[in-house]
């Protein structure tokens, strides 16, 4: 993995350029985290899941929210132009 060596101001300027040239796509449906016991192994049969996160006790799976969802999130993705240095880019999510 390539990591740029630059000042914070240079990183800010570079990433603003990268984001300005990226396409942004919003998923129309809400998403939610569902938890499964870690001891049972990775959850299976969740083809609609977009992320799996594990700690010592649970697998947390981000997938489209069902009627049983608690807190829901909007999901978006950036698609970067090939050849631009997007190292250091970190996105998040927002609650809906």
Q: What does the angle CA 76 – CA 88 – CA 81 come to, to the nearest 5 degrees?
A: 60
Q: Report domain extents, the chain.
A: 1-27+75-96, 30-71
What element of type H or E holds 62?
A: strand 58-64
Alpha-carbon distance of 17 to 84, in angstroms, equals: 9
Model confidence pTM above 0.75: no
pLDDT tens for the chain, 96 residues long, are: 566 688 889 988 998 999 999 999 998 999 999 999 999 988 888 999 999 999 999 999 999 998 988 899 998 888 999 988 888 777 655 555
Q: How far apart are CA 62 and CA 48, in angstroms?
A: 9
22 CB-near residues (< 8 Å, 6+ apart)? 78, 79, 80, 81, 86
CB 60 within 8 A of CB 42: no
């Amino acid at each position: 993995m390539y990591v740029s060596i630059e000042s914070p101001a240079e990183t800010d300027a570079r990433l603003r350029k990268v984001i300005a040239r990226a396409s942004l796509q919003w998923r129309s449906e809400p998403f939610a985290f569902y938890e499964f016991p870690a001891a049972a192994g990775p959850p299976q049969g969740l083809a609609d899941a977009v992320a799996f996160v594990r700690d010592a006790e649970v697998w947390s799976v981000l997938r489209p929210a069902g009627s049983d969802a608690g807190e829901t999130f909007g999901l978006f993705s950036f698609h970067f132009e090939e050849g631009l240095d997007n190292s250091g880019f970190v996105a998040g999510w927002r609650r809906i």
